[in-house]
């Protein structure tokens, strides 16, 4: 009976994935106020960190900006483990900003550019020890449009979002570079440890390139939700390259990432029911010392092209792969499910996609679940000298193709049973959303 349910789930999933990765539907909206609000930008010379408020301030009042957006965007898969129906709004997906009423900012050395009101800000120029600091009302949406920006700081973020409802960082068809070359300093109790650091929701999109260099910290950090819908990103970081507390959602873009820790990392230290990653499209070239993609609760991949070289390729409590072309070279586990939350079963579920896993020497597992493995579709091609599959509970091969060391197999090889983690997994009732307790 379980296999019958899994077949139905796989067929339903395939039907639901016919929509585009960032297709549209009615729902929520992101909009700037239609009222003619003045936007004030104050810049202050600073010889030290941006957490200092001393010094003379100069302010300029720009034109009002209004941008109404209706509707929202739906991601491709409404039958995945995650509800992705309202992740992306229309404005999240707009790769070109309306700058007709934008405030123009030319950056300079030693400046703190304070943005305190909702609006669109067109930013350009090169500077050292300059921070664009957004401290707007919690209902305000702020859009920073990078039009040829080059900032190199010693010890503080190039972009620091203190408060806003949502901050958009949009690249024009230009090259932009943000770097922090030294050890990060804190802003009071806030550990501002990323080149782009946001306390609130963050959206990245655009048609240009953004290079981020972080010698001692993270690349991009959002302490809430992060969404990326377009643009080209080259990130080199000593710690996590892209990290968020609550969620990371990506439906487009090109990512060239070199990380001395994790490439994509989502974890909330205060709430282990959060920390999920959803990817429906994009091109990812990842070299990471630790994990390529790591989420506390769920990693759901519906599409995209991935080339990952890391210790562990993809890790979460529940890993669901519904599509995409994924190549992983790993020295520990290729795809790993481990118990990091109590709200999801420990599962690796593969319903589609072309997955290649090449394992290094030693005690390694290509697909390793401290719970259960379900293969319902797709193609899995594993090269492993030790273990191809390792699981603590059950494994089901209901559809698709599995190739191990060049030979197609008709069943999942027996895993290392009873590893001590199975009691954390709970029951799994076959595909779709049944993995959540």
Q: Tell me how far apart the alpha carbons of residues 187 and 198 are, in angstroms, rounded to a whole number.
A: 12
The angle subtended at Cα 38 by Cα 34 and Cα 40, nearest 5°, is 135
Spell out the SS3 assignment of the chain: CHHHHHHHHHHHHHHHCCCCCCCEECCCCCCCCCCCCCEEEEEEECCCCCCCCCCCEEEEEECCCCCCCCCEECCCCCCCCCCCCCCEEHHHHCCCCCCCCCEEEECCCCEEEEECCCEEEEEEEEEECCEEEEECCCCCEEEEEEEEEEEEECCCCCEEEEECCEEEEEECCCEEEEEECCCCCCECCECCCEEEEECCEEEEEECCEEEEEECCCEEEEECCEEEECCCEEEEEECCCCEEECCEEEECCCEEEEEECCCCEEECCCCCCCCCEEEECCCEEEEEECCEEEEECCEEEECCCEEEEEECEEEEECEEEECCCEEEEEECCEEEEECCCCCCECCEEEECCCEEEEEECCCCCEEEEECCEEEECCCEEEEECCCEEEEECCCEEECCCEEEECCEEECCCCCCCCCCCCHHHCCCCCCCCCCCEC
Q: Please report, in tens digits, the pLDDT of each residue of the chain (437 residues total).
A: 333 334 334 434 443 443 446 754 434 556 543 333 333 454 333 333 333 333 333 333 333 333 333 333 333 455 799 999 999 999 999 999 999 999 999 999 999 999 999 999 999 999 999 999 999 999 999 999 999 999 999 999 999 999 999 999 999 999 999 999 999 999 999 999 999 999 999 999 999 999 999 999 999 999 999 999 999 999 999 999 999 999 999 999 999 999 999 999 999 999 999 999 999 999 999 999 999 999 999 999 999 999 999 999 999 999 999 999 999 999 999 999 999 999 999 999 999 999 999 999 988 999 999 999 999 999 999 999 999 999 999 999 999 999 999 999 999 998 644 333 333 333 333 344 446 76
Q: Tell me how far apart the alpha carbons of residues 138 and 117 are, in angstroms, rounded to a whole number.
A: 10
Task: Please name the residues in contact with 4: beta carbons below 8 A apart, sequence gap of 6 or more.
Answer: none
Q: Please tell me the pTM assigned to this model.
A: 0.84
Neighbours of 387 (CB within 10 A): 18
Q: Tell me how far apart the alpha carbons of residues 165 and 159 are, in angstroms, rounded to a whole number.
A: 16
């Amino acid at each position: 009976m379980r296999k019958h349910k899994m077949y139905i789930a796989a067929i339903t999933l395939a039907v639901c994935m016919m929509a585009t990765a960032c297709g549209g539907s009615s729902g929520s909206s992101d909009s700037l106020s239609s009222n003619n609000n003045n936007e004030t930008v104050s810049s202050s010379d600073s010889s030290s960190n941006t957490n200092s408020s001393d010094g003379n301030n100069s302010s300029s009042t720009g034109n009002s900006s209004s941008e109404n957006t209706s509707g929202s965007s739906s991601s491709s898969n409404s039958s995945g483990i995650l509800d992705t129906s309202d992740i992306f709004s229309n404005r999240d997906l707009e790769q070109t900003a309306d700058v007709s009423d934008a405030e123009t900012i030319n950056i300079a050395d030693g400046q703190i550019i304070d943005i305190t009101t909702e609006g669109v800000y067109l930013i350009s120029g090169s500077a050292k020890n300059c921070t664009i600091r957004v401290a707007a009302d919690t209902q305000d949406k702020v859009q920073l449009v990078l039009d040829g920006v080059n900032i190199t700081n010693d010890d503080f973020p190039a972009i620091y979002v203190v408060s806003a409802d949502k901050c958009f960082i949009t690249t024009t068809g230009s090259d932009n570079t943000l770097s922090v070359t030294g050890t990060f300093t804190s802003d009071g109790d806030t550990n501002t440890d990323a080149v782009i650091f946001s306390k609130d929701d963050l959206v990245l999109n655009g048609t240009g390139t953004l290079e981020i260099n972080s010698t001692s910290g993270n690349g991009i950090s959002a302490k809430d939700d992060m969404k990326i819908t377009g643009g080209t990103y080259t990130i080199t970081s000593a710690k996590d390259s892209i990290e968020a507390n609550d969620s990371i959602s990506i439906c487009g873009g090109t990512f060239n990432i070199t990380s001395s820790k994790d490439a994509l990392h989502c974890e909330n230290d205060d709430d282990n029911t959060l920390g999920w990653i959803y990817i429906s499209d994009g091109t990812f070239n990842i070299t990471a010392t630790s994990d390529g993609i790591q989420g506390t609760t769920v990693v759901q991949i519906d599409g995209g092209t991935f080339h990952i070289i890391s210790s562990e390729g993809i890790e979460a409590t529940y890993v669901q792969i519904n599509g995409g072309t994924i190549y992983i070279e790993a020295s520990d586990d290729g795809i790993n499910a481990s118990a990091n939350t109590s709200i999801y079963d420990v599962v690796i579920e593969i319903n589609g996609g072309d997955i290649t896993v090449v394992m290094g020497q030693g005690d390694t597992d290509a697909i390793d679940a401290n719970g259960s493995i379900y293969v319902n579709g797709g193609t899995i091609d594993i090269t492993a000298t030790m273990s191809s599959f390792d699981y603590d509970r059950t494994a089901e091969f209901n559809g698709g193709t599995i190739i191990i060391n060049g030979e197609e197999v008709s069943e999942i090889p027996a895993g290392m049973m009873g590893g001590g983690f199975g009691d954390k997994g709970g029951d799994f009732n076959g595909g779709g959303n049944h993995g959540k307790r």
